[in-house]
Structure formats: C-alpha cells, structure tokens
Amino acid sequence: MPVADYQTYCKMLDNAYQHRFAYPAINVTSMITANAALKGFAELKSDGIIQVSTGGGKFASGQVNGDMVMGAISIAEHIHRVAAKLDINVAIHTDHCQPGNVDDFLVPLIEESERRVAEGKLPLYSSHMLDASILPIKENMDLAVPLLERMAKIGQILEVEAGVVGGEEDGAAGSEDTPDEQLYTTPEDMVYVYERLSEVQGGRYMFAATFGNVHGSYKPGAVKLRPEILKQGQDAIKAKFGDDAYFWLVFHGGSGSEKHEIHETLDYGVVKMNVDTDCQYAFTRPIADHMLKSYDEVLKVDGEVGNKKKYDPRVYLKAAEAAMADRVKEACEDLRCVGKTLAADAVGV
C-alpha cells in the first residue's frame, strides 16, 4: 500500500484507541533501518509508524552534508517507494523537534509536503512532533497552534508533549537529574492542551503526556511509572468537554517497561509507543557477534587477505536488519497490534 493518507492514518489511530492497542513508532536513521521496520511490520501484518529525529536526519544525509532536512527527506522518499509494495499501512513521522529547530527542521519539511500536496501527491510526512515541553505550557501551545493550523490544511497530524520525559534521546527531552515533579503531566495541563488544540478547525493531534517515563535503556523497576496519570487526564477532559473528548496518547521512553505497565497505558488511550533504544541494540548485537566470531576473516591479520564473504558489509548488515525486524515484531506483540492492519480499507493516493 502507499504510505497512509490522512483519512487512513486517522482511522488507524481511532481503531487503536477503540480497541486498546498501539502502534510501535520505530526510529530510523538509514535505508537499512527503515527496511528493518518495514520488514517487521509486514511479516506480522501490522500497520505501524516510522519516525526520524533531527539527529537521524543529519546522520542519513551523510558526513559530507550533515543536513538534517536533506536526510529526513531522503529516508521518507525511500519509505514511500518501498511501502507501496507492501500490504500494510505505514505512517511517517518526525520525532522530538525542539523549539530551536522548528524553523530549520520542521518548517522546511512542512514546506516540502505543501509542495507535494500542490502537485496532487501525499504529504512527505504523515505527522510531525513538536517537543516544546521545555517551555511553559502556554508558550508550548502558542507555538503548537499555528503549526497545527498549517498542517491541518495539507492532511498532517501534530504530536505535542507537555511534561518532561527524563533521560536523553538524540539530545532531546530531559536529563537524568530532571526533578520528579516534572516527569508527571498534571490533569490541569492536559485540559489546557485539549482546550488550545481544539481551537484548530479540523486539526487532529497526538499528545505525549508524561507519567514518569525516561528515555534510554534501563532495567525493569528502575523507573517509577504512574500510568494512572493518563487516565486522570482523559477523565479530566471528559469531565469538562463531554464524553466524546479524548486524547490519542503517546508513550515515550518505553525501553525496559514491564508488560503490565505497557498494557495498562493501552487501556488509557495510548495509541503510539516510541521504540528506539531497544532497536539500536537489536541492530548492533549481530554485528558485534559477527566481528568477534570472524575476527581473523573480517581483518587482514598478519599480512593475510581475510575473507571477502565475511567483511562484505552486506553480510553483517543483513543480519542486523533481520534482528532489528525481530525487535519490531516483539513491539507489535507487546502493543497488541499483530494482524490488525487496515490495509484492505486504505485509500491511497
């Protein structure tokens, strides 16, 4: 299928909300990691989300360019071409654009989508994340509202964040010494986010509310999650705006989370969970294994010639792609989205 259009993407997210499952949002930095995500989704007949951060875009453009917009465009164009051959829906998303990068990352990508839509094509990206959680909530929403107004005109969804996700991911979000109280979004802030973004006629958005989650890799139990905060926020907006009010919620920093915690968040409206750190490790593990087991063959030791079949990058990168795809499939199983593709109902352009 083609990359999901706006109507299909909204249908995907509503289906997840109504049936209490979520889509893995897989961070990618190259064609091969994008291929790994697509392989995992396709093999389990799961729709999914593939996302690119500012750092991922910069890496993808190559060291000779170091251009995060160019790299983000390149990866997205690759996904559009490859996804068209698969019987699943895929949305393409940007991750953690902080206020300082709105003008030099988010806006140029929106402009590229506006150009494509004017030509009768799908937007390049299905959705974008504005991570203005470092700002006071009013300033955060003052920045988000005009972006959502612009994006709504071309069929894009905005993701916003209020509260701070601890740890560090591509230089974004909080830090290890983030005060505990900042790791938990208040019901009052959730009501304010709903009120402000609902001002945008026809705008659809996802909300990364924080409930103690931390970016990076950690052992189970090391982070104190409070998923009930998500329920409190959903209840608060329903109490003020009516039973039809709800958030599409996003779970950041899920590495190391216990399964029962993940499943509880699904009951409270999480429809998207970011998966980055675990995929990085899954990709790297078989490469390390290959190098350690084939040391004398991948290197020309003591004047020998080595073994081309072992140092050909395609050999170990294929193993890395397969291993990352397996981790994507594990995420699909954890989030209960296996076999739930809406591809048969998709309307592509």
Q: Residue holding tokens 């829906």?
A: 89
Question: For this structure, is 326 an active site residue?
Answer: no
Residue 53 tokens read as 């951060």
Tell me the residue length of the chain: 349
Residue from 5, 47, 95, 189 carrying the catalytic annotation:
95
Question: In whole angstroms, how far apart are CA 206 and each of 80, 157, 222, 266, 292?
Answer: 22, 7, 27, 14, 43
Q: Which pairs count as long-range contacts for 40-43, CB under 8 Å and 24+ apart, including other chains? A: 40/324, 40/325, 40/326, 40/327, 40/328, 40/329, 40/331, 40/332, 41/86, 41/88, 41/90, 41/328, 41/332, 42/86, 42/87, 42/88, 43/325, 43/329
Residues 6+ apart with CB under 8 A from 314: none
Residues serving a catalytic function are 95
